Amino acid sequence: MMFQSVLFYVFAAMMLGAALGVVFSRNPVHAVMFLVLTFFQSAVLWLMVEVEFLAIVLVLVYVGAVMVLFLFVVMMLDVNIEAAKRGLTRYAPFGIAVALVMVIQLVQLIWARGQGVTSTGGFVATPEGYSNTKALGAVLYTEHVYAFEIAAVILLLAIVAAITLTMRKRPGLKLQNIAEQVAVQAKDRIRVVKMATEKKQ
């Protein structure tokens, strides 16, 4: 247990450090990479409480897909550090207010747990042969099936909305008709001209 506590504090400290790196790094690409590190550390913390399905899905979805797209966008931005700095001072009060609210919530939660108000009983190791994935699937597709499907429909809606917003008809847009390209025959492109050989002059 001692060893696990040490591991927990090491990974938690790295996670906090990486999260601070997201906020304080000047370069947006570096910030994204810090965020990736933060996700990895939180996945490790989840693995330590034996929720391996959620941990791996966190890496698969957030690190493997969402952050790649994020990086994709950020790399193409022309970053103006001066403008970003001005933004920082303007939004700082708002950010501090949000941070304060979250700190108060966390303190309340930890304090309440210390008082024994919500006795979750702490962390209980799962028995041998218990499959996290199966347990999650069993709940997700029976008890919470409507919430699950509504979430799927909302995501679909977001995809359709995003595509509609970006698929505007621009003038001068050139598109390739693949079917047409495939159907092309040699005689459409090349004209074979038959002519008599000319005499050498």
Partner 1 sequence: MAGLVPQFVVDIIDWVLGVFHSLPEWLQYLTVTTWKILFVMITVILLVAFSTYFERKVIGRMQARIGPNRVGPLGLGQPFADVLKLLIKEVIVPSQSSKFLFVIAPLLSLVPALAAWAVIPLNGKFVISNIDAGLLYVLALTSVGVYGVILAGWASNSKYALLGAMRSAAQIVAYEIAMGFALVGVLMASGSLNLGEIVRAQSGGVSHWFVLPLFPLFIVFWISGVAETNRAPFDVAEGESEIVAGFHVEYSGVAFALFFLAEYANMVLISTMTAIFFLGGWASPFAGWTFLYEIAWLSWLTVGGLPWLFAKMCFFMYTFFWLRATFPRYRYDQIMRLGWKILIPVTIIWIAVEGAMAWIQVGPWSELGA
- Write out the residues near partner 1 by the rule CB under 8 A: 27, 29-30, 33, 36, 52-53, 56-57, 59-60, 63-65, 68-69, 71-72, 75-76, 131-133, 176, 178
Closest separation in Å from C-beta 76 to partner 1: 8
- Of 142 and 176, CB closest to partner 1: 176
Tokens, residue 32: 């994204």
- Is residue 11 within 8 A of residue 44, CB to CB? The reply is yes
What distance in Å separates the CA atoms of residue 176 and residue 154, rounded to the nearest whole number? 32
Closest separation in Å from C-beta 52 to partner 1: 5
Closest separation in Å from C-beta 40 to partner 1: 9
- Of 8 and 70, CB closest to partner 1: 70
Closest separation in Å from C-beta 174 to partner 1: 11
- Is residue 65 within 8 A of residue 36, CB to CB? The reply is no
- Of 108 and 131, CB closest to partner 1: 131
- How far from 96 is each of 24, 27, 38, 85, 88, CA to CA, in Å? 14, 22, 21, 16, 11
What distance in Å separates the CA atoms of residue 174 and residue 153, rounded to the nearest whole number? 33
- Of 109 and 160, CB closest to partner 1: 160
Closest separation in Å from C-beta 166 to partner 1: 15
- Number of neighbours of residue 51 by Cβ within 10 angstroms: 19
